[in-house]
Structure 1
Amino acid sequence: MSAVQFYKEENFKVVEVDGLRLEVPEEWEVVRLGDALVLLRNGLTYRQNKDGDGYPISRIETISDEKIDPNKVGFVNNIKLEELKEYRLKTGDILFSHINSLEHIGKTAIYEGVPELLLHGMNLLLLRPNRSKIEPYYLLNLLRFYRTQRIFRNISKKAVNQASINQTQLKNLKIPLPPLQEQQKIAHVLISIDKAIEAVDEAIEQAECIKKGLMQELLTKGIGHKEFKDTEIGRIPKEWEVVRLESIVEIYDSKRIPLSEQERAKKRGPYPYCGATGIIDYIDDYIFDGEYLLLAEDGGYFGPFEQSAYIMSGKFWVNNHAHILRAKDGVSDNWYLMYALNYMDLRPYIVGSTRTKLNQEHMRKIKILLPPLEEQQKIAEILSKWDEVIELKRAKKERLGRMKKKIMDLLLTGKVRIK
């Protein structure tokens, strides 16, 4: 594709799209979505299995991240040959979530040929663009733009914990249609940004894998040890100890004060209000001032490499869903303990079947590998460097996401045109 040239549009017309007032270039067509498709339908209603028995078929969760995830498909067997051919996805097909929660209604993903064979399952609509009228990636991004404008929430039929959009509503949805060549150029720009975001995603995943490998090594073998000993939880460096968590931390659970959402609404302010997994609100007062280690009591994630613990510094308030701990001076380090707890599988310590809970009695008994304090600090320093790398990459991804959102608004409404 030749180099793109942008220019500002001057002449607009107003289009009403289900309550949304859009200004688009006068020369653009406005058509029904159904008129730009060769096919719009629901999928096969065969009973699915998750055992890998048969042919892969799409499910609602297949597109939960707005891309087709081959690891989130179902499988069907005993399918008729004619249905296999009829319901097999083609490159450029778009899957649309028309039955979902309000939060997820209208999610989309485009089929790009992976997996090589994928059948269209029920509870996702298939949109097959008429390529002589509309570029598939232009349509994909237009639908995503509409979702950010809450159009699909507005037109959906609401029920308890669920919303739905019928095919007639979707077919009648008005869409702006630039000349096909301009659609292709718009798609090219947005695909370029998507590829940049995907590259950052891959870099984040790689950095997280490296960090996990380092955690495995540093939190079990330490730094530079040559002599090891057998303990109740495996071989560890000779200088290390196996201790109960309660022996190396101070516990401040008695100072926790939960506040309801209504109470917090009356106390808006600058201080973090913390729960099991992080900051959930900001209020006008605080209980703690300093550096503390917060460990989920309930509502957290307790498996290996899951964030059950986090550090809070400064002035903040904590509800009763997180234990409040502080490393004992000269004995342990908050940051080392955070990494050690997040590396561990804490599930043997939790109680409850429906709502899991790490109560204080069991929390006190958690067995921790304890290196000398200086080594704890060195281990924490190494792992925190990788946290910084990961956070920088996540910040870059957020910047790219914001940039794409702004560019989508400019290009998909024609405020900025492409020659």
Structure 2
Amino acid sequence: MLTDTKVALEGYKITEIGEIPINWSVKQINDIAGVKTGGTPSKAKPEYWQEGTIPWMTSGEINLKRIYDVKERISELGFKNSNTTWLPVQTIMMAMNGQGKTRGTVAILHTETTCNQSLAGILPSEKYNSEYLFYYLESRYNDLRGITGEGRSGLNLGIIKSFKVVLPSLAEQQRIADILSTVDEQIENINQLIDKTKELKKGLMQKLLTKGIEHTEFKKTIIGEIPANWEIKTFREVTKVNQGLQIPIASRYLENPGHRYFYITIQALKSSEDVYYIENPTSSVVCTKDDILMTRTGNTGIVVTGVEGVFHNNFFKISYNKSLFDKNFLYIYLCSEKVQQRIKILAGSTTIPDLNHSDFYSIPVIIPNIEEQRKIAEIISSVDEQIKSYQQEKEKYIELKKGLMQQLLTGKLRVTV
């Protein structure tokens, strides 16, 4: 509701969604675009899916942002016997439902496709720029989600059609979209560098953890061929693991005056909003930055080091002989593809995978001499540093984009056309 107390700056006006340039307008999506949803052919009819050639998008693909192809296909028969419809290039896709943060997320089509009923396709008329509308709706993600609250309720076509958007002239829309897409291109270029460097790391780990550095003699073992002077043992022979502690909510603190311990959980490592502290723990559940932790249930096999505190019972602490293992080498070995695959198999494929002590102890571990371990760790760590550098550069561009969206899509920063 508007009030008389707000006075617009010169050249601007007050609208129901904020202050915008005086020559910009506010319209409902329904006034500037067609809005459609799709449908799902019956899964009970194999002929609706077998040998399908018609692309069919689901809400799980919305996070790709720019859709150049989709995974699934339906047949002509499936298309005719469902409510789905063709959507052209430059359609803006919006997730009406979906897991986690999917609802309200938008993407833009660079290919024709059909879709399921969890997605809405927004087709602006020729008077409006699709790329601009894509970026505008991306900037309003939280507002879109806020319409239905944080519950399970999804968006619907009525909500989307009545959602209000800010519209500069077509020329300004194009210019704003060009600026933001240039930043997106930089982010995508960095993503490609990160992906290539991760592939390099994967190949280096495979080579270094099987061939080592400058070896000429090899031997066959239960895990394949390795350098002749390497040892191979099981984790039972060279490590000891102990499980963390489940701390009741009532015994957790939000502040640390200095004598409390950080409570190490996966949530706390991901988000500062989930940080708790513990008092007077037993020494067996305290770890230092030199220790290695690994998750045993749920997302089994996540390896963590460089943190200190009291660890949750979802973690193992892996104690090892420091004269036998370099910490960084052991961390890299635990993260390696072969070990991670073994962990996943041993943990099982139940709803909540669980790796017990004896299963972990059964996993073989290679033991090069300590100097070679350090050299291997240094090589892999240098690649990790490069990945970290790329990720930091990417974050700068993401923040730049956020700032530009806030300024450009509200008219606070005007473009020349």
Equivalent position SS for 2:64: coil
Gapped regions of structure 2 (runs ≥ 5): 1-8
CA distance in 2: counterparts of 1:70 and 1:50, whole angstroms: 17
In the TM superposition, what are the counterparts of 1:88-103 in structure 2 within 5 Å? 88-101=86-99, 103=101
The answer to whether the Cα contact below 8 Å between 1:97 and 1:108 also exists between their aligned partners in 2 is yes
CA gap of 1:157–1:291, structure 2 versus 1, over 3 A, is: closer
Q: 2:186 aligns with which of 166, 177, 196?
A: 196
TM-score of the superposed pair, with normalisation by structure 1: 0.85
CA distance in 2: counterparts of 1:243 and 1:278, whole angstroms: 34
CA gap of 1:92–1:234, structure 2 versus 1, over 3 A, is: same
Q: 1:391 aligns with which of 388, 399, 407?
A: 388
CA distance in 2: counterparts of 1:189 and 1:381, whole angstroms: 40
The answer to whether the Cα contact below 8 Å between 2:300 and 2:355 also exists between their aligned partners in 1 is no
The answer to whether the Cα contact below 8 Å between 1:56 and 1:76 also exists between their aligned partners in 2 is no
Q: 2:368 aligns with which of 371, 391, 411?
A: 371
The answer to whether the Cα contact below 8 Å between 1:276 and 1:295 also exists between their aligned partners in 2 is no
CA distance in 2: counterparts of 1:205 and 1:127, whole angstroms: 31
Q: 1:264 aligns with which of 252, 257, 262?
A: 252
CA distance in 2: counterparts of 1:358 and 1:237, whole angstroms: 30
Q: 2:353 aligns with which of 328, 347, 356?
A: 356
* 1:78 aligned partner: 77
* 2:4 aligned partner: none
1:320 lines up with 2:313 in the alignment: yes
Equivalent position SS for 1:363: helix
The answer to whether the Cα contact below 8 Å between 2:300 and 2:354 also exists between their aligned partners in 1 is no
In the TM superposition, what are the counterparts of 1:218-367 in structure 2 within 5 Å? 218-251=208-241, 253=242, 256-261=244-249, 263-267=251-255, 272-275=262-265, 279=269, 281-284=274-277, 287-302=286-301, 308-313=302-307, 315-343=308-336, 344=339, 345=341, 346-351=343-348, 353-367=350-364
Question: More displaced, 373-382 or 99-108?
Answer: 99-108
Question: More displaced, 174-183 or 120-129?
Answer: 120-129
* 1:380 aligned partner: 377
Gapped regions of structure 1 (runs ≥ 5): 1-8, 303-307
**Residue type at the aligned position of 2:125:** N
RMSD value over aligned CA atoms?
2.7
* 1:4 aligned partner: none
CA distance in 1: counterparts of 2:306 and 2:213, whole angstroms: 27
The answer to whether the Cα contact below 8 Å between 2:218 and 2:228 also exists between their aligned partners in 1 is yes
The answer to whether the Cα contact below 8 Å between 1:33 and 1:170 also exists between their aligned partners in 2 is yes
Q: 1:130 aligns with which of 125, 128, 133?
A: 125
Displacement after TM superposition at 1:334 (Å): 1.6
Equivalent position SS for 1:164: coil
CA distance in 2: counterparts of 1:167 and 1:365, whole angstroms: 55
Higher relative contact order (CA 8 A, sep 6+): 1
1:416 lines up with 2:409 in the alignment: no
**Residue type at the aligned position of 1:154:** G
CA gap of 1:52–1:276, structure 2 versus 1, over 3 A, is: farther
CA distances 1:49-105 after superposition (whole Å, capped 9, x unpaired): 776633211111121333326354343342568999x93332211111112356321
Equivalent position SS for 1:382: helix
Equivalent position SS for 2:65: coil
Displacement after TM superposition at 1:364 (Å): 1.8
CA distances 1:128-152 after superposition (whole Å, capped 9, x unpaired): 01121x11111001101111xx211
Q: Percent identity?
A: 26
CA distance in 1: counterparts of 2:81 and 2:267, whole angstroms: 50
**Residue type at the aligned position of 2:233:** V
Question: More displaced, 290-299 or 379-388?
Answer: 290-299
CA distance in 2: counterparts of 1:269 and 1:234, whole angstroms: 52
The answer to whether the Cα contact below 8 Å between 2:53 and 2:73 also exists between their aligned partners in 1 is no
* 1:41 aligned partner: 36
The answer to whether the Cα contact below 8 Å between 2:68 and 2:110 also exists between their aligned partners in 1 is no
CA gap of 1:356–1:381, structure 2 versus 1, over 3 A, is: same
The answer to whether the Cα contact below 8 Å between 1:293 and 1:311 also exists between their aligned partners in 2 is yes
Across the two proteins, how many residue pairs are aligned to each other? 389
